[in-house]
Structure 1
Amino acid sequence: MPDPLPRRPAAKPGATGSLGPAATVLDNAGRALPPFAALRAFEVLGRVGGIRRTAQALGIDHTVVSRHLRALEDWIGVPLVDRSGGRMELTPEGRSYHVRVSAALHDLIAATRDAMATGTSEGVRMWAVPGFAIQWLSDQLADFERSDPGFAVELRPTDTCANIAQFEADADIRFYGDDWPPQPGGPGLQALELARPPLVIVTSPALAASLQLTSAQDLLTAPLLHEEHHEQWRAWLTQNGVSVDATAERPLPGPLLWHAHLAIAAARQGRGLALANRYLVGRDLANGALVELAVPGTTPVMIGSYWFVARADRWSSPAIARLRKFLRQRASA
């Protein structure tokens, strides 16, 4: 079977060029591989786009990045970058090559990190949706580190889903609605459902005492609080038998707060009624800052789950395996 890339003679000992001495690398079959610096520049370019952004990411001059890309194209004999029209984009061949180069380099990063962690404490870089991270997860991680002192967790609360496949984080936890794209997981990833909590209506004690709700229908005129959209309240009302004729032109009443923790804060301040789950409002219910509002004739509603996502090839690593088992047990308690 022919080599996927043309062969190029290895550099003579001590040979120098734009990429420095002994730039050519040999694989274990003695075949020449492209210079690593050129591969690295190409991989970053494919992710961030643009010569100057690549140079900034690598901490080198943009002219050096251009030289690396030209050298890689010369080495392979295939145009990887389309420079026409004042924009720099990968060619079809470049995109196909980038997928495999990026995967190989990130596997090398993972292998190096694993080797460096041998015999030392192993850390996990975790991203999570902010409300869940602040209100519930941070306390659980403190307990995890006390029970397993060899493993430390770096937690980043963020609304952005981590690119696990590109090693942006080791694990990611967020809420996925049953009918809201995207769904958890994906190629090369593995996912575990941590919890599927029912929604509860919460508000301040003062506002709760002032409301006279006799059925779910009465909520259509109540001060509702929403996160980034109206879908949570729409699903809750629909599953409790209320016909919701709400569109972009005729939305449900109440403001958008954009984040779960901001909607909960507004409920705490008496601004309206928020939908939440006990992972987000457990502390507030316990200390009396919020109360659960019971509406006659309604039933609990579940619209999605919290999912733990990690790379499939690191799913059984000691830190990730112990952490997900610990969190699953805590979430089920």
Structure 2
Amino acid sequence: MGRLGGVRHAAAWLNLDHTVVSRHIRFLEEWLGVSLFHRLGGRLVFTEVGESYHSRISAGMIELASATAQVLHKDDERYLRLWCVPGFAAQWLSEQLADFEQQCPELTIEMRPTDDTANLVMHEADIDIRFYGDSYLPSPGGKGLRFVELARPPFLIVANPELAIELSALRHISELANGPLLHEEHHEQWRAWFKLNGVEVPERLPGPLLWHAHLTIAAARIGRGVAIASTYLVGKDLANGTLVELQLPGSQQAVIGGYFFVTREDRWNSPGIVKLRRFLQAQIRLRDKA
């Protein structure tokens, strides 16, 4: 809860129904006789007591997990478990890992594409790579973690060629806010992009939630709507013409966040992790110069 910031996110990570998690939080607060969270809409924010309590018990849990992993030899330097947001994993990272394995055959990378953030301090994975927005939660890192931003790509709006022709009649980008928008798990990426383009929009925007970037892009390919995506996710589609950038009066590409490489602080200088981190940073520099 403290790391994920919401009951539903925590329940999804635990693979439990959110009502079960809510009930356990309520029982814990009743047993302790204090409120651990402020309820702010759909988010939970620690009270001062909750923050202190979480800090102390999480330190003990981290130590327990670390000691257990050491006994079970889970920190094998030759084997790295990598979790990554699915779109970035499928559209860019998988090819890079193929090249990395040729350069470093002594290392084995197990990549898991997932929208769930890895609990690195509990040794669920060694590395977590995902996108974090500048203007909305969650944020990368946390107690016992260290991170670096790999890339800050521009985001653009894309549609298939047929829909792009239809929408070219729009006189200003603000009219698109009422249009066929495609979303991942929330509306925040679109909201951030509109704001950077000078358009104020309501909290809720029209269009379906598709949860995964690759499903959103697939829906855009068949003309279901307009997607917002980083250049890492739609580069190949733009090159082969299955998607085109929708350029409307008043619109421009905008940077709304970045892809981050996160690992445990005590593993930051582990040889395998250092090799992979530096390799990915070098590949991104080459891509940006192209």
TM-score range with shorter-chain normalisation? 0.7 to 0.9
| d(CA) in 2 for partners of 1:300, 1:238 | 12
Give the alignment partner of residue 67 of structure 2, picking from 98, 108, 117.
108
Question: Superposed, which structure 2 residues align to 1:29-48 within 5 Å?
Answer: none
> Please, which runs of 5 or more residues in structure 2 have no aligned partner?
1-13, 15-26, 33-53
| d(CA) in 2 for partners of 1:116, 1:234 | 40
1:213 paired residue number: 170
1:241 paired residue number: 198
Q: With the length of structure 2 as denominator, give the TM-score of the two structures.
A: 0.74
1:3 paired residue number: none
Shift of 1:272: 1.0
Q: SS state of the match for residue 321, structure 1? A: helix
Q: SS state of the match for residue 110, structure 2? A: strand
| d(CA) in 2 for partners of 1:264, 1:315 | 34
Shift of 1:115: 9.4
| d(CA) in 2 for partners of 1:284, 1:263 | 13
| d(CA) in 1 for partners of 2:153, 2:283 | 13
Distance change (3 Å), C-alpha of 1:199 and 1:97: closer
| d(CA) in 1 for partners of 2:219, 2:278 | 34
Give the alignment partner of residue 254 of structure 1, picking from 179, 203, 207.
207
Counterpart residue type for residue 170 of structure 1 = D
| d(CA) in 2 for partners of 1:102, 1:220 | 46
Give the alignment partner of residue 128 of structure 1, picking from 76, 80, 84.
84
Question: Superposed, which structure 2 residues align to 1:291-310 within 5 Å?
Answer: 291-310=244-263
Report sequence identity in percent. Answer: 55
Residues paired across the two proteins, number: 239
2:218 paired residue number: 265
Max radius of gyration: which structure?
Answer: 1
- Measured against aligned partners, the alpha-carbon deviations of 1:179-198 in whole angstroms (never above 9, x if no partner) come to 22221111111001011111
Q: Which structure would you say has the larger RCO, counting Cα contacts within 8 Å and 6 or more residues apart?
A: 2
1:155 paired residue number: 111
| d(CA) in 2 for partners of 1:105, 1:323 | 27
1:326 paired residue number: 279
> Please, which runs of 5 or more residues in structure 1 have no aligned partner?
1-47, 49-84
Q: With the length of structure 1 as denominator, give the TM-score of the two structures.
A: 0.65
Distance change (3 Å), C-alpha of 1:158 and 1:115: closer
| d(CA) in 2 for partners of 1:274, 1:98 | 42
Shift of 1:103: 3.4
- Measured against aligned partners, the alpha-carbon deviations of 1:117-148 in whole angstroms (never above 9, x if no partner) come to 5xxx7011011111111111111111111111
- Measured against aligned partners, the alpha-carbon deviations of 1:258-317 in whole angstroms (never above 9, x if no partner) come to 221111111001111100011111222222211111223323211111111001111000
Alpha-carbon RMSD across the aligned residues, in angstroms, is 2.8
Q: Is 197-206 or 286-295 further displaced after alignment?
A: 286-295
| d(CA) in 2 for partners of 1:266, 1:108 | 46
Distance change (3 Å), C-alpha of 1:184 and 1:96: closer
2:242 paired residue number: 289
Shift of 1:108: 3.2
Shift of 1:320: 0.4
